[in-house]
Every structure is written in structure tokens, then in C-alpha cells.
């Protein structure tokens, strides 16, 4: 995703041969595509030439081409070619496992306090959805070390990261059972954050204590409350602090605008006059209504000849009243002011929700025993030494 960043002048990135792009057909249909010279994409909207997209800015319409012998373009079908982002890729990629959806990835990256230069250890690569979100947060100088036990999934994830040019940030370790072997190749106290998406995170307390830096953060992704309880018990036993568990279900709504048309004043007058004329036969004895008086005044104005007003009369009337009077004389109707249309919003939730039940548990690694010993003289009236590292307050 590094090569899809906008240019310095704010212009959209230009698609090149070999780039991975996202084809947006409609709201629920997104697919990935690798651009190749003289290749075509065929779908329900037509036949799309890769040559027409190569060298063009992304984020615009990609029109289908006609299959006629003349080779003329057809504007009937089109899709949108978009630059890949972790959010779009989570919906467009092939889901080899249950993925971490964007709303969960955003919360995890924020509460793990990921920033450029951070080192993240991830257990359970899966489809790579969370890995891409972490890579974007720590790039360009940070690292994401991800472990996947399944060789096929690890190979597919590695190819995906290479196509997105994320190999300088992401490294995949395949065939490692972290529950038994631990974080192979990760040095002690070298990780700023750890994300665990494994069946038994409560069995990795000693490994978390080993690889995390002092005051480092850990997040576990659990599908049930029972696993959360066992994980929290393990974290307390290992003297982790600032424990909290959250869940973030996402409910999307369909919102539509309903335009409430407001009739003009002349339409209201005509409706009133029509209603008054219809009921005049039964209500001769009552005084004339407003609609009848307006209709009578209009008939009198139409019968009068059209004359140019004198300068004195023109000064006594406003410009708006003069235009309304001339319009009424010329067309036989009163053109009144139209009220501002009102818009009403209608929202209803979708019957299905994208995502799955998940509980996110966060905690912080305690400070080392050596650092606690540095503070021991403080209780004896001595000034403690200042630690050399920077601690982040929770």
C-alpha cells in the first residue's frame, strides 16, 4: 500500500502494470485484480481492458469496451478501480479464516498505541486483515512479525503482502506453533505490542513477559467469555496491570432522504378556490371565504387592461410586488414565493451484521524487577535514578 499514497501535490496515485487494485462493482461486491498489459476483466457489467486503466489515476470510473468489430467504447457498463486499503482489502480478499474486521482492527491499533517505528508481534496471521492494519500503523520504520501455523495460509498471506509491497514491514513465519514453541526468533524485550489470536492465549504468559518491553501492551482476541476469564486470570498472575475487556459490534444502517414537497402560495390559493366553488351551492348564505375573495380579485385583475405604471406609482410599489403584478396580468395566475423544501431522513438497520462475536482484552506488562530495585532507595530517603527509557502512561 506504500506505492498508492497520493503525490506531493495531492493528486491520486497512478495505476501501473503489476499493481494490485480493487474493483468496486457495487456496495457488496469488491474483488482484487492484478493489472497486466493486454489483459481483460469480464463481469456482469461488461468487458474491461487493463490497458485503459494502466497509466490512469485510481479512484475513477473504469468503463467497459464494446465487443464490436469497430472497437468503439460503450458507456453502458462501468466499475470503480480503487487503491487498496486495509479496510477495503478486508472485504475484497479471500477469507481463508475468520478475519479481524476493520472496526476491531482500528480499536486494537489505537489501544496498543501503535505508531511509526513500533515493533508488533502477531500470532495467527490468517487472511492477513489485521496484519495489514498493523503494517499501516507502524510503517515505514516499524516491523510486524506475524506467526502462522498453517503453511498454505502463510504462503498465501506472504504473496499478498508482496503484491502490496509490504515485505519491508511485514514478515511471516510459517509452521510455528507458538503455544508450544513460543515466539521463535523474537528477542527478549524487543516488542512494543503483542496481538494474540490463538485458541489458548492463557497459556502464553511467560512468552508475553519475555518478548514485551517494560510497559508494553498486549491484546487477546477471544470468541467467548470463558476464555476471557482464564486469560485475565493468567495476566493477573503474571503481574500485568491495566486490564480491560471490550467488545465492539458494528451495526450499519440504511439511510434514505424523503423530500417533502411544499406547494407554492398560488397553488394553495387555487386549491382553496376550487374547494370553495364546489361547496358554494350548499353554502350560499355564508360570507365569502378567503379562496373566493382571492379568486374574485384574480378575475378582476385579468379583466383589467395591461397598462404601464406611472413613475409615481412605480415608486410606490416595490420591485418584487411589481414583478408579481405583471406576471399575474400576463399569465392569469399569481406566482407566489415557494417555501423551502423539507427533507426527512429515514434510517433502518440492516437485518444482518458483518462481523462475529469477539472480546478484546488489553493489558500492560509490568516494569522489570531491576527497575523496581532502582526505586527502592526512594523509600529510604534517597533520590531514585531516572529510568533511561520512555514510559507511556495508560
Domains of the chain, residue spans: 14-67+76-84, 88-250+358-370
Q: Taking the CA atoms of the chain, what radius of gyration do you get in angstroms?
A: 35
Is 197 annotated in a binding site? The answer is yes
Q: What is the DSSP string of 203-261?
A: G-HHHHHHHEEEEEEEEEEESSHHHHHHHHHHHHHTT-EEEEEE------EEEEEEEE-
In angstroms, the CA 81 to CA 87 distance is: 15
Longest dimension (CA), the chain: 109
Q: How confident is the model at residue 259 (pLDDT cuts 50, 70, 90)?
A: confident
Coil, strand or helix at 24: strand
Flag the least confident range among 22-26, 247-251, 379-383. 379-383
* Residue with the three cell numbers 379562496: 291
In angstroms, the CA 35 to CA 53 distance is: 8
For the record, the C-alpha cell of 276 comes out as 370553495
Residues shown for the chain: 394
In angstroms, the CA 119 to CA 145 distance is: 8
pLDDT score recorded for residue 312: 53
In angstroms, the CA 61 to CA 78 distance is: 6
Q: How confident is the model at residue 322 (pLDDT cuts 50, 70, 90)?
A: low
Flag the least confident range among 183-192, 315-324, 361-370. 315-324
Question: What are the pLDDT digits (tens) for 21-44?
Answer: 999 998 778 999 999 999 999 888
For the record, the C-alpha cell of 311 comes out as 413613475
pLDDT score recorded for residue 280: 58
In angstroms, the CA 302 to CA 313 distance is: 19
In angstroms, the CA 327 to CA 265 distance is: 14
Please give the residue that has the higher pLDDT: either 202 or 286. Answer: 202
pLDDT above 90: residue 230: yes
Mean predicted confidence (pLDDT) in 97-103: 84
Q: Which CATH number fits domain 14-67+76-84: 3.30.300.30, 1.10.132.20, 3.40.50.300, 3.10.330.20?
A: 3.10.330.20
Question: What are the pLDDT digits (tens) for 104-136?
Answer: 999 999 999 999 999 999 999 988 999 999 999
pLDDT score recorded for residue 156: 92
Coil, strand or helix at 86: helix
pLDDT score recorded for residue 343: 78
Instruction: Give the closest residue to 142 by CA, choosing from 163, 125, 124, 121.
Output: 121
pLDDT score recorded for residue 344: 82
The percentage of the chain sitting over the pLDDT mark of 70, rounded to a whole number, equals 67
Question: What are the pLDDT digits (tens) for 185-203?
Answer: 999 999 999 999 999 999 9
pLDDT score recorded for residue 45: 87
CB atoms within 10 A of CB 273: 19
pLDDT above 90: residue 303: no
Please give the residue that has the higher pLDDT: either 71 or 112. Answer: 112
Q: How confident is the model at residue 172 (pLDDT cuts 50, 70, 90)?
A: very high
Instruction: Give the closest residue to 371 by CA, choosing from 386, 381, 383.
Output: 386
Flag the least confident range among 130-134, 156-160, 250-254. 250-254
Beta pairing partners, 361: 220, 245
For the whole model, what pTM was predicted? 0.67
| Phi, psi dihedral angles at 35 (to 5 degrees) | -75, 135
320-327 CB contacts, 8 Å cutoff, 24+ apart: 325/301
Please identify, in words, the CATH class of the domain defined by 88-250+358-370: alpha beta
Average pLDDT of the chain?
Answer: 78
pLDDT above 60: residue 339: no
> Mutual orientation of helices 319-331 and 290-303 as an angle, nearest 10°?
80
> According to DSSP H, which parts of the chain are helical?
86-92, 102-111, 129-138, 151-163, 178-181, 205-211, 225-237, 265-278, 290-303, 311-316, 319-331, 369-375
Please give the residue that has the higher pLDDT: either 16 or 370. Answer: 16
For the record, the C-alpha cell of 59 comes out as 479512484
The percentage of the chain sitting over the pLDDT mark of 90, rounded to a whole number, equals 43
Is 148 annotated in a binding site? The answer is yes
pLDDT score recorded for residue 257: 82
In angstroms, the CA 266 to CA 248 distance is: 54
Coil, strand or helix at 26: strand
pLDDT score recorded for residue 235: 96
Amino acid at each position: 500500500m506504500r506505492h498508492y499514497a497520493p503525490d506531493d501535490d495531492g493528486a491520486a496515485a497512478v495505476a501501473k502494470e503489476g499493481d494490485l487494485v480493487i474493483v468496486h462493482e457495487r456496495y457488496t461486491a469488491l474483488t482484487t485484480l492484478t493489472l497486466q498489459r493486454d489483459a481483460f476483466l469480464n463481469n456482469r457489467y461488461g468487458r474491461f481492458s487493463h490497458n485503459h486503466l494502466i497509466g490512469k489515476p485510481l479512484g475513477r470510473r473504469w468503463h467497459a469496451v464494446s465487443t464490436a468489430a469497430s472497437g468503439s467504447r460503450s458507456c453502458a457498463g462501468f466499475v470503480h478501480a480503487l487503491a487498496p486499503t486495509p479496510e477495503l482489502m478486508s472485504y475484497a480478499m479471500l477469507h481463508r479464516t475468520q478475519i479481524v474486521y476493520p472496526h476491531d482492527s482500528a480499536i486494537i491499533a489505537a489501544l496498543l498505541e501503535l505508531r511509526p517505528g513500533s515493533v508488533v508481534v502477531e500470532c495467527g496471521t490468517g487472511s492477513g486483515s489485521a496484519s495489514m492494519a498493523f503494517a499501516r500503523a507502524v510503517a515505514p520504520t516499524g516491523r510486524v512479525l506475524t506467526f502462522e501455523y498453517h503453511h498454505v495460509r502463510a504462503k498465501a498471506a506472504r504473496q499478498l503482502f508482496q503484491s502490496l509491497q509490504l515485505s519491508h514491514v511485514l514478515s511471516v513465519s510459517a509452521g510455528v506453533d507458538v503455544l508450544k514453541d513460543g515466539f521463535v526468533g523474537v528477542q527478549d524485550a524487543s516488542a512494543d505490542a503483542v496481538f494474540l489470536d490463538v485458541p489458548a492465549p492463557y497459556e502464553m504468559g511467560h512468552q508475553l513477559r519475555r518478548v514485551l518491553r517494560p510497559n508494553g501492551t498486549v491484546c487477546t482476541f477471544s470468541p467467548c467469555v470463558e476464555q476471557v476469564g482464564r486469560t485475565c486470570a493468567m495476566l493477573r498472575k503474571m503481574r500485568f496491570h491495566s486490564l480491560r475487556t471490550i467488545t465492539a459490534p458494528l451495526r450499519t444502517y440504511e439511510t434514505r432522504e424523503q423530500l417533502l414537497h411544499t406547494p407554492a402560495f398560488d397553488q394553495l390559493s387555487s386549491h382553496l378556490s376550487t374547494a370553495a366553488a364546489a361547496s358554494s351551492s350548499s353554502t350560499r348564505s355564508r360570507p365569502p371565504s378567503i379562496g373566493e375573495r382571492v379568486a374574485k380579485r384574480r378575475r378582476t385583475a385579468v379583466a383589467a387592461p395591461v397598462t404601464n405604471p406611472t413613475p409615481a406609482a412605480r415608486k410606490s410599489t416595490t420591485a418584487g410586488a411589481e414583478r408579481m403584478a405583471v406576471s399575474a396580468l400576463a399569465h392569469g395566475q399569481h406566482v407566489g414565493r415557494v417555501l423551502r423544501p423539507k427533507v426527512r431522513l429515514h434510517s433502518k438497520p440492516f437485518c444482518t451484521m458483518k462481523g462475529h462475536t469477539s472480546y478484546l482484552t488489553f493489558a500492560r506488562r509490568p516494569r522489570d524487577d531491576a527497575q523496581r530495585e532502582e526505586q527502592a532507595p526512594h523509600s529510604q530517603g534517597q533520590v531514585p535514578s531516572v529510568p533511561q527509557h520512555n514510559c507511556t502512561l495508560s
